[in-house]
Amino acid sequence: MSATNDAMNQIVVNVVRLARRPGYLLLVGAAVPVGVFLLFGLLLGLDAESWGGWVPFALGLVLAVPVAVLAVRRERLQRTTADIGDGPVTTAGGVVVVTGEPTQAALEEELTTLTEAMDEGRVRTARWLPRVEATQRALLRAAGGPVRAPYLRDDLRITLVAFLGTVAAIPLAILGAFMSAFALLLS
């Protein structure tokens, strides 16, 4: 375990804990209007005389996809980071001995790790969102791989697109629910 890996684990655990409540509120704030839109779309579809009546329901399903993906990714991240950083700190005999400066080998190892991570971040091979993919590979390199950083196994590009889709689903689902409710009132 290197100092870089320990620092990354602490930072990620704290960020996940800080984002737990806002992430939950975002998912609830998106799931409620999308669910209402789906319900109204279903009612319109059941009452329709042609396939055009099912369009609101299909649009509601499209808006539900990023919300569901983000919910699954959030739960997986919560599970993965639950055990990181919770271990008690113990010392033998209750005395901590500081031996002075870190050794030259330890400093060189940290410098090599950070240099490799920076080099990995410069290579952009992905076709879509290449900077996000390069950043994830650099973080994996700095953390010591997916064994030491299991929270980086999932593709961050999918999570980012799901997050943006969830944020966009809120106003679109509210608009769709109002339009569907208006259509139900007229029918």
Of residues 104 and 187, more confidence is placed in: 187
pLDDT of res. 128: 81
When pLDDT is cut at 50, 70 and 90, the band that residue 2 belongs to is low
Per-residue pLDDT at 120 exceeds 80? no
Per-residue pLDDT at 84 exceeds 90? no
Task: Evaluate if pTM is beyond 0.85.
Answer: no
Domain ranges for the chain = 3-84+103-186
Per-residue pLDDT at 88 exceeds 70? no
Per-residue pLDDT at 45 exceeds 60? yes
13: its two tokens: 């655990």
| pLDDT tens digit sequence for 140-181 | 777 777 777 777 778 888 999 999 999 999 999 999 999 999
What percentage of the chain exceeds 90 in pLDDT?
Answer: 40
State the average pLDDT over residues 52-58.
92
pLDDT of res. 119: 66
Per-residue pLDDT at 7 exceeds 80? no
When pLDDT is cut at 50, 70 and 90, the band that residue 87 belongs to is low
- Of 3-17, 104-118, 141-155, the one with minimum mean pLDDT is 104-118
